[in-house]
Amino acid sequence: MKWWLLAFITLASLFLCAAQDQRKQKGALLNVVECKAVRHEDSILLDAKLRNDGEDTIKNVVLTIYFVGPGKKVVATRKTDIDATDIEPGGEAEISLETPFPARTIALRFETRTRMERWIDLKNDGPFPIE
């Protein structure tokens, strides 16, 4: 009886492992396709473009911008809503904003979530140098 139980558990675990390997792996949902940050006097002008590389529509995206200083330390953060309320699969959203220049900032890095605080995978999140 013990052998039958052991054989059944072994076969069941093999089938579960095989089924798990066949699941479709999802890639990054959002991709930063271009980003340009320019320092202008005491502010930073940021122009970026995000593309939805996922299979679902993404709604209510909040972009967190990390201002990175020497040694890759975060010196300031800023959150902003993306203008496009819905980003369809394959669609793009543009970001244009002006923000005060935090002292010692040399680059930018991004993170994305929804307004309901659900994480959104982001490919090519930085750091992007400030010109």
pLDDT per position as a tens digit, 4-41: 666 667 766 766 655 454 444 454 588 999 999 999 88
The predicted pLDDT at position 107 comes to 93
Residue 69 CA to residue 35 CA, distance in Å, equals 18
State residue 98's pLDDT score: 92
- pLDDT bin (cut points 50, 70, 90) of residue 1 is low
Portion of the chain with pLDDT greater than 70, in percent: 80
Q: Which residue has the higher pLDDT, 21 or 109?
A: 109
What residue segments make up the domains of the chain, in order of their start?
Answer: 30-129
What confidence category does residue 129 fall into, taking pLDDT thresholds of 50, 70 and 90? very high
For CA atoms 99, 104, 107, 109, the dihedral sign is negative
Mean pLDDT, residues 37-57: 90
Calculate the dihedral angle through the C-alpha atoms of 81, 50, 65, 62, rounding to the nearest 10 degrees: 30
Question: Per-residue pLDDT for 103 more than 50?
Answer: yes
What pLDDT sits at residue 23? 45
Count other Cβ atoms within 10 Å, centred on residue 117: 7
Whether 70 has a pLDDT exceeding 80, the answer reads yes
Q: Please list the residues that pair with 12 across neighbouring strands.
A: none
Q: 30-129: which CATH topology? A: Immunoglobulin-like (2.60.40)
The single-letter DSSP state of residue 29 is S
Give the tens place of pLDDT for each residue, 72-89: 899 999 998 887 778 889
